[in-house]
Amino acid sequence: MKTLYHGSKDIIEHPRYGAGKPYNDYGLVGSEMCIRDSYGLGFYCTESLDLAKEWAVSVDRGGFANCYEFDCADLAILDLNGEDYGLLHWLALLLRFREFDASGPLALEAKQYLLENFAIDLAPYDAIVGYRADDSYFSFAQDFISGAISYQQLGRAMHLGRLGQQFVLKSERAFDRLRFTGYEGASRDEWYERKMSRDRAARREYLDEERNRRQPGDLFITTIMDEGMGAGDERLR
């Protein structure tokens, strides 16, 4: 049994499976419908109450951290932190479900390569565990496919700001295992500032030249493509 939290502008006692609009992106966090985000249509949660409160608020309003008990016994859960997966699997999912500014020829080529070589079929899974791509982290991923930073630099950047993991319910079976247990309010004055402070800290650390300097042997997207590296390549572990 897990305790999960969903940050929202609403109190959501009964999330509805399949009720979302698949073309919606980040803006619908808080709807009782499924939302489309980093891993497609689903109900996006976290195991951190504080993060749920940050995700619940916006510049002009507060929100709620909805609390649930989730029985995950016998469910098929894709853990993107597992030994069979790497950062590029996560990035391929991001490229599939989020709008990327891939206007340059290298970024377009990189997007196609990652989708062809690191895509994951989500159909067999009831839920997904993986990184959450807030705006700052999304920009780091864009820098990688544009050739501005290396694979190793991207890996370090994903730990900046300690954003944590998100737990995404994908199947009707998973929704049936979710039980609402209550909620806590999140004031805009407190939690929006915390949210923005976390984002600013991540961006500031990312721009720290000494911390994020390229190292000899770092892999850039051009090398990954030129050498035909795939999911099983030890250099990407």
Cβ-count burial of 144 within 10 angstroms (0-12 exposed, 13-18 middle, 19+ buried)? buried
Domain boundaries along the sequence of the chain: 2-99+121-133+164-217
**CATH architecture for residues 2-99+121-133+164-217:** Alpha-Beta Complex (3.90)
Question: Distance (Å, rounded) from C-alpha 66 to C-alpha 219?
Answer: 41
Q: Tell whether the model's pLDDT for residue 93 goes beyond 50.
A: yes
Provide the whole-model pTM.
Answer: 0.82
Per-residue pLDDT of 153-199, as tens digits, reads: 888 887 765 666 889 999 999 999 999 999 999 999 999 998 888 87
- Confidence at residue 23, expressed as pLDDT on a 0 to 100 scale: 37
Q: How confident is the model at residue 28 (pLDDT cuts 50, 70, 90)?
A: very low
The secondary structure element, H or E, covering residue 77 is strand 77-79
- Confidence at residue 64, expressed as pLDDT on a 0 to 100 scale: 97
